Amino acid sequence: MVTLWLWLFSFFFLLGLLCTLAFQLMCLVDLEYDYINPYDSASRINRVVLPEFIAQGVLCFFFFLTGNWLTFVFSLPYLCYNVRLYMEQRHLVDVTEIYNQLRWEKKQRFLKIGYVILLFFLSLFWLLSSISVEDE
């Protein structure tokens, strides 16, 4: 029963990460099509970047503590990338450079979404397998 709750926790955590990344991507697309001004877009994205990094760090630490080594190893490169961005002070979107970096920022968010979707399906697989083990 404990493994079911652990995978359920990671499932909803990853779902939250997906929503956060989708929100950032929607802000960038709105900026690209001129539905929002650069200041509002940058402030909305910057408001959720640090919680995204913290949530991913907590999730990776959670996988480490619970002994889910495969999922921990899969989530470690994403955590290292986020730590590198934070240490190099490149994690926030600059209002004055947002139009020049728009293509790169969108590509970065798409790659992050793809990576989190991979982790999401891995977590979903382990959640469903733990449900089937609980039924037996």
For residue 136, give Cα distances in angstroms to 1, 126, 131: 12, 16, 9
Look at residue 33 in the predicted model and tell me its pLDDT.
93
For 85-90, what is the mean pLDDT? 96
Kindly report, residue by residue over 102-133, the tens digit of the pLDDT. 999 999 999 999 999 999 999 999 889 888 88
Region for residue 34 given its phi and psi (left: phi exceeds 0; alpha: psi -120 to 50; beta: otherwise):
left
**3-state SS string for the chain:** CHHHHHHHHHHHHHHHHHHHHHHHHHHHHHHHCCCCCHHHHHHHHHHHHHHHHHHHHHHHHHHHHHCCHHHHHHHHHHHHHHHHHHHCCCCCCCCCCCCCCHHHHHHHHHHHHHHHHHHHHHHHHHHHHHHHHHHC
- Going by pLDDT thresholds of 50, 70 and 90, the confidence category of residue 17 is very high
For 14-40, what is the mean pLDDT? 95
Which among 91, 84, 115, 117 is positioned nearest to 105, based on CA atoms?
91
pLDDT(58) > 90: yes
pTM, 2 dp? 0.92
- Going by pLDDT thresholds of 50, 70 and 90, the confidence category of residue 135 is confident
